[in-house]
Amino acid sequence: MLQFATLTSKPAARRRPLRLLGPALVLLALALALPAGASASISSGHGGWFKQSSGTLAPLYGVAFSDATHGWAVGPEGRILATTNGGATWSAQSSGTTEVLYAVAFSDATNGWVVGAGGVILATTNGGATWSAQSSGTTETLTDVAFPDATHGWAVGPVVGGLILATANGGAIWSVQVTPPGTTASLNAVAFPDATHGWAVDDYGTIHATTDGGATWSAQSSGTSGYLFGVAFSDATHGWAVGIWGAILATTNGGATWSAQSSGTTAGLYGVAFSDATHGWVVGDGGVILATTNGGATWSAQSSGAPSSGNIASLDAVAFTDAAHGWVVGQNGVILATTDGGGPAVKARYKVTPPAVPSRVRAGARIESWGTVKPQLKAKECIVVFWEHYIGGRWDMVLARKPADSYRNTASSTRYSVRMMFKPGKWRVRATAGDHEPVTSVYGTFTVY
């Protein structure tokens, strides 16, 4: 089956339905699903990550835990799920809204807030037994919320130019704060480790910071212009931001300087959590879970189960209460939990060779080429091929899909073929293989004329 590579605009800042997902990201989600009938094999034991029953197949976009037993997760149609036993059981709470809910924050086991589409802000003072609406003063979507204590809170949204709301009385009154000077992009996430120090990240790779509770904001240089989707600070000096193409940025001086950390993946990274200045986790596309025990000097992949089986296409948010107890939520109602920090790193299993595309290709020509995977693929595991186009001074993913042709297995390897047509320009291709291993091939580059 012939697939056409078409140029797309810069992908939406986040994967959630309210932001119009670029075709490339939609195709990526489809590409990472195996044929119908395949099922995940996720351990229910106490080692590594194991699946908890959410009672829904709808996506979950946000998660928060006030301690190792009390937690909440939110999603579309006003969905709020809660647990009082660490996720052994989850039950629905009545939100009083049908809007999509995107983020949740709890300052303790009783005081919490949820934000979502239409400017919705909900609050509870009894752990979610009852939720009440607070007046945000806007109908714009809110995508993230942070409360370092029961009175001081901030919410941000994807309005062009940035939207920041703040409260100093638990949400009885919300007011608009002056957006960071020069901001033209929408804000995706916000973090406040205390009532004065805060950071927000946007679509253009800018990190905005405040040291006076948001009275004034200033831009910090991240060293990237790519989308940043999540931000976390363990204290007023140690912070991390994550985003497109496996980007992880870190600071040890409150953002005076930011440096890139090696994630070992090119997957979009959406959520980040640190229990202290050394122990952290990042989640994203394809069920990626990365962990560090040294502040991000090194990151290792952890097994989330079987993301390519169709049960975990994307993981959207992560929360940890200490270095051992954590939870992740994502597509298809997935909730994963760990009581040992996520277990050991996943060991690399495959060596992948990308399709052997000629260095120069005539526009409109049909290309059929082969790549290899060693050793031979195991049952329920797949190959995903990524095509990227160089435009505007950066590489943009245009298409991600499983090869249409059947794989040809030999005793020691798997061959796969791709057939494509391209528009003129500079292109590159890579491939991934396996069920949850973040093993990727080197890039193969070529020019279409």
CATH no. for residue 243? Answer: 2.130.10.10
Same domain, 376 and 244: no
- Within a domain: residue 40? no
Give burial (CB, 10 Å; 0-12/13-18/19+) of 42. Answer: buried
Same domain, 368 and 243: no
Same domain, 315 and 177: yes
What pLDDT score was predicted for residue 37?
25
Same domain, 284 and 355: no
- Within a domain: residue 59? yes
- Within a domain: residue 380? yes
What pLDDT score was predicted for residue 314?
85
Same domain, 138 and 106: yes
- Within a domain: residue 43? no
What pLDDT score was predicted for residue 6?
30
Same domain, 288 and 144: yes
Range of the domain at 262: 50-338
What pLDDT score was predicted for residue 440?
55
Same domain, 20 and 154: no
Query: Which of the listed residues 310, 338, 366 is the one where a domain comes to its end?
Result: 338
Same domain, 152 and 231: yes
Same domain, 313 and 185: yes
What pLDDT score was predicted for residue 439?
52
Cβ contacts of 70 within 8 Å, gap of 6 or more = 82, 83, 84, 106, 109, 127
Which CATH number belongs to the domain containing residue 379 in this structure? 2.60.40.10
* pLDDT lower than 70: segments of the chain: 1-47, 182, 305-313, 346-348, 380, 392-401, 404-406, 434-442
pLDDT in tens, 369-398: 788 888 887 776 778 777 778 876 666 666
What pLDDT score was predicted for residue 260?
95
Same domain, 105 and 235: yes
Count of domains forming the chain: 2
- Within a domain: residue 37? no
Query: Which of the listed residues 313, 338, 363 is the one where a domain comes to its end?
Result: 338
Same domain, 289 and 368: no
- Within a domain: residue 42? no
In whole angstroms, how far apart are CA 21 and each of 18, 210, 220? 8, 30, 27
pLDDT in tens, 252-296: 999 999 999 999 888 899 999 999 999 999 999 888 999 999 999
Rounded Cα distance between 396 and 393, Å, is 10
Cβ contacts of 324 within 8 Å, gap of 6 or more = 338, 339, 340, 341
